[in-house]
Amino acid sequence: MSSKDRVLDFLEKNKEDYISGEFMAESLGLSRTAVWKAIKELRNQGYVIEASSKKGYILGTSNDIISESGIIAELSTYSGNGASGKKEKIYNAILSAEGMIHIHETLDSTNKAAKELAIAGATGGTVVIAKSQTLGKGRREHEFFSPEGGIYMSIILTPVMLPSLEPDVITALAGVSVCEAVQDLCGIVPKIKPVNDLFVDGKKICGILTESGTEFDTGTVQWIVIGIGINFDSDINEFPKELQSIAGSLFEPGKSSVTKNRLIAAIICNLSRLGTESTKEVLKAYNDRLICKH
């Protein structure tokens, strides 16, 4: 981990208090100059870091930049829907080793990147996130428009992480996980349009794409990639005209009441918790959130 990332991680973990440069340097085994340079670099990347000559540094409350340290800090504090008591295998896998969360400014597709990692033997629980996508994927090879202002994430899972679930309910698992996170943190109640779209007030705010890799000889599922795309604080006026009437966003640009890091962490925790449930329980939660119940 670079000096910059270590300083950011330290600030994220102590974001309620001012931290002196001297204390930070001693705690991280860095020089005061290295800490100062890291702070400067973080500010250049857009982080708001307040400074006081008497008290030190503190992350500003207006920061909403997706970061590995920010997500990990939120993972340890999120407690919605009982997640703090039952986070289970996915959650534990992410926190068990460094490098489980891969963040990119832009990718053609997070699902494509995650599948490549899975094929190469990546650990279950690995997460790939992009701040924008150039070739975001939807079902049936449809494109998912993915400008800045959204959350685009894919997570690699293995069957052992979902011991009681049948493979064909994984998309339902993801849909319920996102719905519960959004409702808990944002006070917004999304509904699911089968099988993989989430709507708020008649507008699509999220799409989900699940893909898997199987062993050729046996057909056994080796890995699963769940791709989630959320219009977080997207400017719908900048979407293609044919999408403007059907696309929505959780928040207007710059007016979110929760950070992207916190929502990402909540989704991961919910996936981990719900992944221990039975197929019957997940399908009940899914059916309860359908736009049109049968």
User: What is the domain range of residue 142?
Assistant: 68-288
- The CA-to-CA distance between both ends of the chain, in Å, stands at 51
For the segment 102-146, what is each residue's pLDDT rounded down to a tens digit? 999 999 999 999 999 999 999 899 999 999 999 887 766 677 888
For the segment 212-264, what is each residue's pLDDT rounded down to a tens digit? 998 878 878 899 999 999 999 999 999 999 999 999 999 998 888 899 999 99
Q: Are residues 115 and 52 part of one domain?
A: no
For the segment 157-192, what is each residue's pLDDT rounded down to a tens digit? 988 888 778 878 999 999 999 999 999 999 999 999
Q: Are residues 39 and 98 part of one domain?
A: no
One-letter amino acid at 169 equals: V
Q: Are residues 116 and 18 part of one domain?
A: no
Q: Are residues 269 and 136 part of one domain?
A: yes
Q: Are 193 and 170 within 8 A, CB to CB?
A: no
The reply to whether 293 falls in a domain is: no
Domains in the chain, number: 2
Geometric angle at alpha carbon 5, from 87 and 23, rounded to 5°: 100
Q: Are residues 215 and 129 part of one domain?
A: yes
Q: Are residues 187 and 87 part of one domain?
A: yes
Q: Are 211 and 227 within 8 A, CB to CB?
A: yes
Q: Are residues 265 and 154 part of one domain?
A: yes
Question: What CATH number does the domain containing 160 carry?
Answer: 3.30.930.10
Tokens matching residue 70: 């920010």
